[in-house]
Amino acid sequence: MTDQSPLAEAQLKYAEAIPSASMASETVILIDALGRTLAQDFNAPEDSPPYNRAIVEGFLVNTAETQSASEENPISVQVIGHVNPGDESCPSFGEGQAIEVNTGSILPDGQVSIVRMWEAKRDGDTVTVSRPFPPRFFIEEQGCDITKDSTLLKAGHVLTPADLANIASLGVNEISVACAPKVAIFASGDEVIAHTDTLRSGSIRDCNSIQLAAAVTETGGIAEQKGIMGDDFDAFVKAVKASLKSTDMIIIAGGTAVGGRDFVSDLIKEVGELVIDGVPMRSGRPLIMGVANGKPIIAVAGHPPEALRGFRLFGATALAKLLGRDIDPAIEG
């Protein structure tokens, strides 16, 4: 038994019928990777930050020397050098000495701390400290954000601007992503004309091809508009079979019933396997889905708002499954 809605059950059933991560992969440069889907786990090639560094301006001191410092009994140290961002190393220093640092300066390991500028009194090269400081105070440790060889992003992740920044910070400029699925889009119906044609009595302009192509692009696919098919079953079957040879997914808008015949249902049976033959919900009868050689075939209503809704309910999930993205198909959209 299940407490899922009929729609959620249909979404889950159809998602299970589509092979996961079936697209080939390709390598792209980072600037072209926004919105693409990782084809494999991305493991960090190095630590980030790549070295210990200061996160404030101040003076690097030996931690132990500050432990006895107080307002009544301040300690003084001599500034013997400085380290700026971009310097390859920090000068060494000994007892009673300090190094001036800036934000981003490279720092050594060991029991050292940063005394912030406003927590010290400086007189020439002498710095006076009047309180104790904990070890590694205001020091960002090597690898504290990202550890070398750790998995930064999992396969199936959709790359965001922040992801690209993180990858770039590790010195990487190319990334392996899933190839975008090619999606053939058919409009259907003898009454349907191109949206640029002159409207005649009884005709309907095809706006579904435009909106579905945009939705496919938005979801990570490559839309290929195949035009308008009339209510000729054999010609439609031939066109779909031809498209299946060169594309990864088929979307059909309209034509779910012609002259009392389950037109699209029969079409899908002709070219592949019928998985969902309508969904028991309002406006659910036109939602018909199948698979042919692992390639999704999705029929949505001809009414434009319902066509887009049908794509978001089933087409977007199908594309995500082909790309290997993480999905929750049992969520009604």
**3-class SS of residue 219:** helix
| Res 207 pLDDT > 80 | yes
Q: Is 43 a domain residue?
A: no
| Domain end marker among 112, 140, 168 | 140
Whether 166 is covered by a domain: the verdict is no
- How distant is the alpha carbon of residue 282 from its chain centre? 32
63-99, pLDDT tens digit by residue? 999 999 999 999 999 999 999 999 999 999 999 999 9
Whether 184 and 318 map to the same domain: the answer is yes
Please check whether residues 185 and 133 belong to one and the same domain: no
Element (H, E) at 266: helix 263-271
Whether residue 29 has pLDDT greater than 70: yes
Q: Is the pLDDT of residue 333 over 90?
A: no
Q: Looking only at Cα atoms, what is the longest distance across the chain?
A: 98
Say if 76 falls within a structural domain. yes
Q: DSSP characters for 7-51?
A: HHHHHHHHHHHSPTT-S-EEEEEGGG-TT-BBSS-EE-SS-BSSS
For 108-160, how does the pLDDT look when each residue is reduced to its tens digit (9 = 90+)? 999 999 999 999 999 999 999 999 999 999 999 999 999 999 999 999 999 99
Do 207 and 124 fall within a single domain? no
Buried b (16+ CB within 10 A) or exposed e, 38-72: bbbebebebbbbebbbbebbbbbbbbebbeebeee
Q: Is residue 318 part of a domain?
A: yes
Q: Choose the final residue of a domain: 111, 140, 169.
A: 140
- Which of these, 202, 152, 171, 147, lies nearest to 41 by C-alpha position? 152
Inside any domain, residue 185: yes
Question: Tell me, what's the pLDDT at 230?
Answer: 86
Look at residues 140, 161, 192 and tell me which one is the last residue of a structural domain: 140
pLDDT greater than 70 at residue 30? yes
Say which CATH number the domain at 274 has: 3.40.980.10
Can you give the pTM of this predicted structure? 0.84
The pLDDT of residue 257: 57
CATH code of residue 104 = 2.170.190.11
Q: Residue 158 carries which DSSP code?
A: B
18 pLDDT more than 50: yes
Residue 332 has pLDDT above 60, yes or no: no
Write the burial class of residue 317 (CB in 10 Å: 0-12 exposed, 13-18 middle, 19+ buried): buried
pLDDT at residue 328, rounded to an integer: 63
Under the banding of pLDDT at 50, 70 and 90, the label for residue 1 is: very low
Is 256 a member of any domain? yes
Q: What percent of the chain has pLDDT over 90?
A: 82
- Model confidence over 236-247: pLDDT tens digits? 999 999 999 999
- Same-domain status, 284 and 195: yes
Give the number of domains in the chain.
Answer: 2
**Ranges 2-16, 66-80, 254-268: which has the least confidence:** 254-268
- Domain membership of residue 329 (yes or no) is no
**pLDDT tier at 254, thresholds 50, 70, 90:** confident
With cut-offs at 50, 70 and 90, classify the pLDDT of residue 260: very low
pLDDT tens for each residue of 264-291 = 899 999 999 999 998 887 665 679 999 9
d(CA 288, CA 185): 15
Q: Please state the rounded mean pLDDT for residues 31-41.
A: 97
Q: Which amino acid is at 58?
A: G
Shared-domain flag, residues 292 and 202: yes
Strand pairing category for 112-116 and 120-123: unpaired
Q: 318 or 202, which is more confident?
A: 318
Average pLDDT, the chain: 92
DSSP code for 203: -
Question: If you average pLDDT over residues 251-268, what whole number do you get?
Answer: 78
Are residues 234 and 304 located together in one domain of the fold? Answer: yes
The pLDDT of 15-22, averaged and rounded, is 94
Judgement on whether residues 194 and 307 belong to the same structural domain of the protein: yes
Contact 249, 184 (CB under 8 A): yes
Please state, in angstroms and rounded to a whole number, the distance separating the CA atoms of residues 18 and 295: 7
**Structural domain includes residue 115:** yes
Apex CA 100: angle with CA 48 and CA 73, to 5°?
115
- 203 shares a domain with 122: no
Considering the domain architecture, whether residues 209 and 284 belong to the same structural domain is answered as: yes
Is 112 in the same domain as 215?
no
Beta bridge partners, 202, equal: none
- Asked whether residue 233 falls in the same domain as residue 311, the answer is yes
Residue 101 three-state SS: strand
Give me the pLDDT at residue 330, please.
46
pLDDT at 331: 47
How would residue 199 be classed by pLDDT, with cut points 50, 70 and 90? confident
Q: Which residues contact 316 (CB under 8 A, 6 or more apart)?
A: 215, 219, 333
Kindly provide the residue ranges of all beta strands, DSSP E only, lying in 201-266, ordered along the sequence.
204-206, 222-229, 249-253
Domain of 134 in residue numbering reads as 53-140
Same domain, 191 and 296: yes
